[in-house]
Structure 1
Amino acid sequence: MRATSQRWHIRAGLEQEYMTRHASVWPELERLFHELGVTEYRLYRFGRDVFAHMRVDDYDHFIRGYAESEVAQRWEDEFASLIELPNADPETGWPESGELVWALPAPHPR
């Protein structure tokens, strides 16, 4: 299991459109994420900045499967005009993965 994060920017003036489109994520996209081993995926918005946090069984498998998916391509096309990807990985096109600095350990059983 890998926890990873990414960040990107919403283009100026398109913040509400970005939020509106995420209000109804396609069920087939959600199924794809589950099929590719994603157990958790959260997006947080700070003004125009978006922070994503994901837990996935095999990140490389996820990236390959996502890139090959027609559903994922349609979703990416829907958002291409809304976002900017700083430091995108030249091989995958995905935003750069963040480095874990610290995590709260699980509580010890008593």
Structure 2
Amino acid sequence: MQLKQGMTEEYRRRHDEIWPELVTLLHEAGIRDYHIFLDAETNALFATLKLTPDNNRDSLPDHPVMRRWWDHMADIMEVEPDNKPCEWPLAHMFTLP
């Protein structure tokens, strides 16, 4: 994901005040151990998470709480026309044996 220039503290503040209903929704979708990291030089955001075997993460974009969160964050992030954060996959390069 990509944070807009100068929005680091606002991004952190909004996540420090994450809505309880969003936390519940993410847990119910099977998301665990979710972390977001920032590359301060490029403003790139990198997220890691674990999914339960029975997760329904694919249903999140249609949920009203998720849509409201995207709308809430759209002014400080690079987003798609529907306010979904721009995301791109990273290629796995190494795992420590």
TM-score range, shorter chain: 0.7 to 0.9
Check if 1:50 corresponds to 2:42: no
Q: Which AA in structure 2 matches 1:21?
A: R
TM value normalised by structure 1: 0.70
- Corresponding residue SS for 1:28: helix
Deviations 1:33-87 (A, max 9, x none): 11111122100112122110111136x8302x211211111100011111115xx
Bigger radius of gyration among the two: 1
Task: Name the TM-score, length of structure 2 as normaliser.
Answer: 0.78
Q: CA-to-partner distance for each residue in 1:3-51, whole Å, 9 max, x for gaps?
A: xxxxx22111222111111111111111111111112210011212211
1:84 aligned partner: 78
Query: Displaced runs of 4+ in structure 1, greater than 4 A?
Result: none
Higher strand share: 1
2:74, 2:85 within 8 Å by CA — same for their partners in 1? no
Q: Select the residue among 89, 92, 97 that pairs with 1:100.
A: 92
Query: 1:51 & 1:79 partners in 2: Cα distance?
Result: 16
Gapped runs of 5+ residues in structure 1? 1-7, 106-110
1:70 and 1:21 map into 2 onto residues whose CA distance is 18
Aligned residue number for residue 22 of structure 1: 15
The residue aligned with 1:41 is 34
**Structure 2 portions without partners, runs of 5+:** none
Cα pair 2:35 2:49 within 8 Å, conserved: yes
Map Cα deviations across residues 69-106 of structure 1 (whole Å, 9 max, x no partner).
11111100011111115xx7xxx87612223222234x
How many positions carry a matched residue from both structures?
A: 92
Superposed CA RMSD? 2.5
SS in 2 for 1:95: coil
